[in-house]
Amino acid sequence: MSDRKVDIIFCRDDVLAIYLLGFVDTEDGVADFCPNTRYYYFEVGEKYIEFESINQYSKLSVRIVDSIRYQFEIDEDMLPCKTSVSQIILTDSMSAKNTVKSFVINGIESNDNQQIVCNSLQLNLNNGQELFIDPSFYYGINIGGGEQLYYRRTAQRVVNGEICAVNRGSEMSFILLERERKPIKLRGQKVVPATITALNRNLLLEGEYVGVKSGKKVTIIHIGGSGLIAAPELRDAYSISNTIPATLSEDAVQLDSDEIFVVYERILDVKRYVFEGISMNNFWDDVFYSFWVPSDYYIDNERIGTGWIRISTREIILINGSIPKNEKIQVISTHSISNLKINLILETIIDDKFQV
């Protein structure tokens, strides 16, 4: 299927509706709609444009089809269904200007008579609305406007009109602090509620990660929520340590606390150090001692890496860096409190290296 065919269909007719697929799961007499965001269908004239997230949520498949297809497996007691999300996505779902003025295919990989495979697709409607279709989320496709395109580009860069991945793997790392012993059922799947510390909570994404020591894989299904209730004296500690709730895949029940996880597709060099001597400023409260605190490491004002530090066990986790022997290390927290950066000086560093 050539992009010319898509152009003709989009620009000839209005976008009549946008459908999200899923299934209905009934439990205790209550029906729950469970969306499958791998698939979206745009009804355009007498045809449908099928958008599917493929290749482990890394590519977007675009097809022209005659009808909506339910291409996912469900249990016998569940019913496949669809729902219109036009009023949620379109600025004015009843507008006569919901035709596509132009579109941009980013990172086209293949283009034949049946299918277009690309990184993402942007639709520019005649009413001025932009729709950016991004297949790279764990749950599937995310559709947004200019802010969605900006979000994608903060984690990726554009080269010659194509979106290319940037290796930000060191920032997409976390330490598992604690987890539930048994999985719970949520929206038809078994998950494990957990608490983690993110190296950078703004860049940590849903997806698959691998444990540095164990080599075990786990998937972050959802980040954040209201699972943490901190006492007043711990609020700053939770903040500076980037301690947040997370929903993990069922296999997380096999994981140990304090395991470090990195992006599976970007295996990193991870080192562990222990230290003896330490001096700190007045802003490093002793309530922080038992927390893993995301930090940057410096020697003579030159940054040598990033990672975590925990005072109570005298440990440093360093990602993609190295600490020379007999050097004094300045540690500056990556998160500030009351606009004050917390820093300390370490001495007598002992290498205790481990890698994936």
Q: CA-CA distance, 29 to 32, in Å (whole number)?
A: 10
134 versus 107: which is more confidently predicted?
134
Report the mean per-residue pLDDT for the chain.
78
196 burial class (0-12, 13-18, 19+ CB within 10 angstroms)?
Answer: buried
Of 61-65, 90-94, 210-214, 314-318, the range with the highest mean pLDDT is: 61-65
Name which of 331, 337, 332 is nearest 240 in CA terms.
337
Q: Taking 80 as the threshold, does the pLDDT of residue 180 lie above it?
A: yes
Q: CA-CA distance, 64 to 115, in Å (whole number)?
A: 8
- Whether residue 346 contacts residue 275, with contact meaning beta carbons closer than 8 Å, is answered with yes
Q: CA-CA distance, 170 to 50, in Å (whole number)?
A: 35
Helix, strand and coil content of the chain, in percent to the nearest 5, comes to: 10, 50, 40
Which residues make Cβ contacts (< 8 Å) with residue 11, sequence separation at least 6? 99, 100, 101
Please write the tens of the pLDDT for every residue from 183-238: 888 777 889 999 999 988 777 777 888 898 888 999 888 887 655 555 666 777 88
- Mean pLDDT across 141-168: 53
State whether residue 148 is helix, strand or coil: helix
pLDDT of residue 195: 93
Which backbone phi and psi does 183 adopt, to 5 degrees?
-70, 160
**CA 213 to centroid of chain Cα atoms:** 22
Predicted confidence band of residue 263 (pLDDT cuts 50, 70, 90): confident
Name which of 291, 287, 300, 297 is nearest 344 in CA terms.
297
- Mean pLDDT across 278-307: 77
- Whether residue 216 contacts residue 210, with contact meaning beta carbons closer than 8 Å, is answered with yes
Q: Which amino acid is at 213?
A: K
- Whether residue 79 contacts residue 24, with contact meaning beta carbons closer than 8 Å, is answered with yes
Which backbone phi and psi does 82 adopt, to 5 degrees?
-135, 160
State whether residue 142 is helix, strand or coil: strand
Scored b (16 or more CB within 10 A) or e, 87-120 reads eebbeebeeeebbbeebebbbbeebeeeebbbbb
Q: CA-CA distance, 89 to 36, in Å (whole number)?
A: 16
28 versus 8: which is more confidently predicted?
28
Which residues make Cβ contacts (< 8 Å) with residue 31, sequence separation at least 6? 24, 25
Please write the tens of the pLDDT for every residue from 313-326: 888 898 877 887 76
pLDDT of residue 164: 38
For the four alpha carbons of 201, 204, 205 and 211, in that order, the dihedral sign comes to negative
Alpha-helix residue ranges (DSSP H) falling in 22-115: 86-89
Residue 113 is classified by DSSP as S
- Whether residue 129 contacts residue 91, with contact meaning beta carbons closer than 8 Å, is answered with yes
pLDDT of residue 335: 64
Name which of 283, 216, 37 is nearest 136 in CA terms.
37
How far apart, in Å, are the Cα atoms of 301 and each of 200, 296, 297, 330, 340?
22, 11, 9, 8, 18
The string of DSSP codes covering 275-322 is EEEEEE-TT--GGGTTS-EEEEEEETTEEEEEEEEETTTTEEEEES--
